Amino acid sequence: MNNGSYSVEFKVKAGLAGFVIVFLVLAAVVGHTLNWSLLAIVTLLFFLSYPLCWAAWQAWDFWRSSIMRVSAYVQSINMGESGVSLTQRSKSVLIDDLIREIKILQTSYTANTASTQMLTVLLAQLFEDIPIAIVVFDDNFTLIYANREAYTINEISLLQGMNASQLGFVVNNEQIQHPILSKSWRSQSSALNYMQQAAHLFTAVNIDSELKQSEQAVQKNLVRVLSHELRNTLTPMSSMAETILSMQQWDTEQVRKVLSRVKTRSDGLLSFVERFSEVAKIPEPNYEYFDLALLIEQTKVLLGSNDTLNFVGQKSGYGDPQLLAQVLINLVKNAVESVDGKGINIEIQFYIKDTQQHLIVSDNGTGFSNIENAITPLFTTKTNGAGIGLTFVESVLSKHGGKLKLSNTPTCGANVELLWPSSSVSKVSS
């Protein structure tokens, strides 16, 4: 057994016992030097041992009781008892200094506890009956409050006094998220300050019903547009077939012409269906840092002699470079086709704000004639279009956890803004 394995109590006891033994040995040596008899030396040691042992015991009891008092005081504070106090006996300057520092700490702790309790009461008055799940953490991300709606979420546990990470929350750049609430919940994190006390507010709203309504609306639009497209293709084909069947004698040239038109319509419809099926085959993103300027440079092969493309902003982004390259191709292609070869100016901007990447593609073309249905699958205003381009773009962004915003510029051009999250792009692109 090495010295490091002995407790402090054992060392103190051993030190005091050693002191008594050494003192008695010295007394015996002195007696022997003075030629005392053995009986006299034993008598001397007997009378000296009592006061020495009493003094050693008093020293041990003083040390032990002082430590126990301080330990009991700290335990009471830790258990939240605010009415406990500790007197200073002034027998030890070190112990008194320790008690003084603990009292200062208790005062600060009591003030913080009172402030936290006031904040909790205020939060309960404000948020308890709101139909939005609200969870509040202190500056150390310890749970201090959750309203009634938050406790109805069975998928997560909320125990006051526990750290956010212990409850399954993820803290990233002062932003709080919960993986379980990422799909059918809209969550938001923000900071607040009350009486110089920092706190973090996390809110979550169940959007499952909204998502279902949105899906139903998309399905209705899809059926409407698909029916329109099929009707526009099949009605002329049926009319041409009826014309041939009504002829008494078939004119070979006329039949060939009709069948050629039917084939053209059929090929167009097949191409339309094949392009639409590409939207459902988008793979999961393979995230990596990439050179956005290089991807934009590759899209310039789509430009005509009268077209221009300018890029400003940060050069590096984070996401799936292959999917985002296809997104850029679709957007540039849409812009070029909107002017039928008359020449177009395309401006691309890229920047990062907070934790969001912003890619903006604008042009001076004709803009969106029906912006409400622009992202609807199969909807198109182009003669040879399939209505897939922006649907593909929106699907890629959705897989990146982002969203697509469409608008028309003041000069009647189109403005497409892509937003998707990134946790640390700014470190690379700065």
The count of C-alpha atoms lying within 13 angstroms of the C-alpha of 99, restricted to the half-sphere facing its C-beta, is 20
The answer on 292 and 262 residing in a single domain is no
Instruction: In whole angstroms, give the CA distance from residue 389 to residue 379.
Output: 10
- Could you list the beta-strand ranges (E) of 266-335: 288-291, 308-313, 316-319
Quote the pLDDT of residue 86.
Answer: 61
Does residue 120 lie in a domain region? Answer: no
Q: Tell whether 349 is covered by a domain.
A: yes
Residue 158 CA to its chain's centroid (Å): 18
Q: What is the pLDDT of residue 18?
A: 86
Nearest 10 degrees: CA dihedral of 405, 410, 411, 416? -10
| Residue 380 and residue 420 in one domain | yes
Are the CB atoms for 406 and 412 separated by under 8 Å?
A: no
For residues 388 and 270, state if they share a domain.
no
Q: Look at residue 378 in the predicted model and tell me its pLDDT.
A: 44
Residue 78 maps to a domain: yes
> Quick one: 185 and 220 in the same domain?
no
Domain C-terminal end among 166, 185, 206:
206
Q: Are residues 425 and 297 in the same domain?
A: yes
Does residue 107 sit within a domain? no
Predicted pLDDT of residue 347 = 93
Has residue 226 been placed in a domain?
yes
The answer to whether residues 300 and 335 belong to one domain is yes
User: What gap in Å lies between CA 229 and CA 224, rounded to an integer?
Assistant: 9
Are residues 234 and 315 located together in one domain of the fold? no
Q: What's the CA gap between 208 and 216, in Å, rounded?
A: 12
Q: List the domain range (segments joined by +) for residue 216.
A: 209-279
- Residue 7's pLDDT is 73
Q: Kind and range of the H or E element at 60?
A: helix 38-78
Domain boundary among 279, 297, 321: 279
Residue appearing with tokens 């607040």:
192
Both 217 and 194 in one domain: the answer is: no
- Give me the pLDDT at residue 385, please: 42
Q: Is residue 100 part of a domain?
A: no
292 and 423 housed in the same domain: yes
Report the domain count for the chain.
4
Q: Which CATH number goes with the domain that contains 155?
A: 3.30.450.20
CB of 413 within 8 A of CB of 365? yes
The pLDDT value recorded for residue 427 is 38
pLDDT of residue 314: 92
SS3 breakdown of the chain: % helix, strand, coil, rounded to 5? 55, 20, 25
Whether residues 74 and 50 share a domain: the answer is yes
Q: CATH number, domain at 266?
A: 1.10.287
Q: Are residues 165 and 261 in the same domain?
A: no
State the distance between the two ends of the chain, measured CA to CA, in whole angstroms: 57
Same domain, 54 and 31: yes
Classified as helix, coil or strand, 83 is: coil
What are the 10-residue block averages of pLDDT along the chain, 430 residues in total?
61 83 87 86 85 85 76 70 58 66 67 63 72 84 84 82 86 82 77 74 79 67 64 73 78 80 75 62 84 89 87 92 87 82 88 90 79 53 49 84 86 87 50
